[in-house]
């Protein structure tokens, strides 16, 4: 398996958008500040992630995060398109090439679910590879790519809680928890 990441847009676009929206002559926005704040403007940072030879079922787990503004392209296992494929040779473990174009906010959200202790071990492995590839080109974003419970103050809302957090399935009122 191989995972690579490419940043398609940079902080220059974020600053240009902020300048126009808020009439800022010189925005002091940085990647570090952008991701720390987590506001919608972080969606202006786009990435292309390419995964080669990942199991088909892991690709499906990632496609499930498709949302507005994301694009997923997965190699086909159709025998009429690929002469090396037969109906008997294809299963959930069949390797595929999967490319995604998505923004920083999407990556944080995807990591939240796919780095979770309840996620399949191979899916967690691929998500860790994505995080590592992102860290090479955007070291400010990677630290924010964490399991959802980490950014939810230790609360898990998964059906099958992994047990690594404070509350598995029970609602904790944040106003009470933060007193």
My answer on whether 95 and 123 are in the same domain is yes
> Is the pLDDT confidence value at 163 over 90?
no
My answer on whether 92 and 110 are in the same domain is yes
My answer on whether 92 and 161 are in the same domain is no
**pLDDT tens-digit readout, 33-88:** 899 888 889 999 999 999 999 998 899 999 987 677 889 998 877 667 777 766 66
> 121-137 vs 104-114: helix axis angle to the nearest 10?
150
58/75 Cα distance (integer angstroms): 13
My answer on whether 96 and 179 are in the same domain is no
My answer on whether 135 and 156 are in the same domain is no
CB 23 within 8 A of CB 72: no
My answer on whether 21 and 93 are in the same domain is yes
10 confidence band (pLDDT: 50, 70, 90): very high
Full domain range(s) for residue 172: 152-179
Give whole-number Cα distances, 144 to 87, 94, 140, in Å.
Answer: 41, 31, 8
My answer on whether 58 and 138 are in the same domain is yes
Domain count of the chain?
A: 2
**pLDDT tens-digit readout, 129-155:** 999 999 999 999 999 999 988 776 777
């Amino acid at each position: 398996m191989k995972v690579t990441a490419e940043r398609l847009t940079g902080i220059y676009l974020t600053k240009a958008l902020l300048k126009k929206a808020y009439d800022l002559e010189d925005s002091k926005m940085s990647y570090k500040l952008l991701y720390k704040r987590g506001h919608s403007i972080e969606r202006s940072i786009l990435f292309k992630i390419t995964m080669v030879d990942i199991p088909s079922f892991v690709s499906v787990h990632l496609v499930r995060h498709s949302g507005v503004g994301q694009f997923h392209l997965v190699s086909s296992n159709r025998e009429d398109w690929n002469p090396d494929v037969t109906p008997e040779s294809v299963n959930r473990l069949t390797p595929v090439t999967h490319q995604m174009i998505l923004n920083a906010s999407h990556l944080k959200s995807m990591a939240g679910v796919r780095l979770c202790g309840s996620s399949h071990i191979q899916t967690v492995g691929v998500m860790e590879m994505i995080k590592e590839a992102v860290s090479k080109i955007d070291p400010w974003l990677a630290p924010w790519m964490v399991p959802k419970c980490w950014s939810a103050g230790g609360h898990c809302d998964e059906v099958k809680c992994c047990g690594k957090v404070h509350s598995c399935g029970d609602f904790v009122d944040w106003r009470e928890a933060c007193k």
